[in-house]
A = this chain, B = another copy of it.
């Protein structure tokens, strides 16, 4: 798994889970989808479990299941559960007391708050079901073209 691809890797995993409803997939299986190892998977999606997006069970026959239907899982929730910031820039003070820095931080923070809200709104309108629908469309297309050619 490359850097900065936790969101796409997680979505990849979730679509696979959505395609096998009711069937628990192990960290091992999920890991092969995103070319990494089981511990990285557990670590990455641990937050999704806490958010109720997935459930995990141990022992024989255990593994991971979606906690809700794909229609009820939005990318906003997934992104939030991963715990990564939506915007990459930091505004932590480095020169406390510098009025220029304070002004810069104030303006950037205002922007950031508004921007994060905008992005979260947009993400909340995309669900896991949308992703699986897109996948199915591609899948069917391949099938058609394979038969046609």
Give the interface of A toward B (CB within 8 A).
1-9, 11-12, 15-16, 19, 33-35, 75, 84-92, 94-95, 98-108, 111, 114-115, 118-119, 122-123, 126, 130-132, 134-135, 137-139, 142
Contacts and interface: CB of A to CB of B under 8 A. Distances in A.
A61 to B, nearest CB: 24
Contacts of A137: 103
A134 B11 CA distance: 41
Given A33-B100, A111-B123, A91 B138 contact: no
Contacts of A8: 89-91, 101, 104-105, 108
16 contacts: A4-B88, A4-B89, A5-B89, A5-B91, A5-B92, A8-B105, A11-B104, A12-B104, A33-B98, A33-B100, A85-B88, A86-B88, A88-B88, A103-B131, A107-B134, A111-B123
Given A87-B86, A88-B87, A104-B12, A94 B1 contact: yes
B134 A106 contact: yes
B122 A15 contact: no
What are the 3 closest A-B residue pairs judged by CB atoms, nearest first? Answer: A103-B135, A88-B88, A103-B134
A135 B91 CA distance: 16
A107 B126 contact: yes
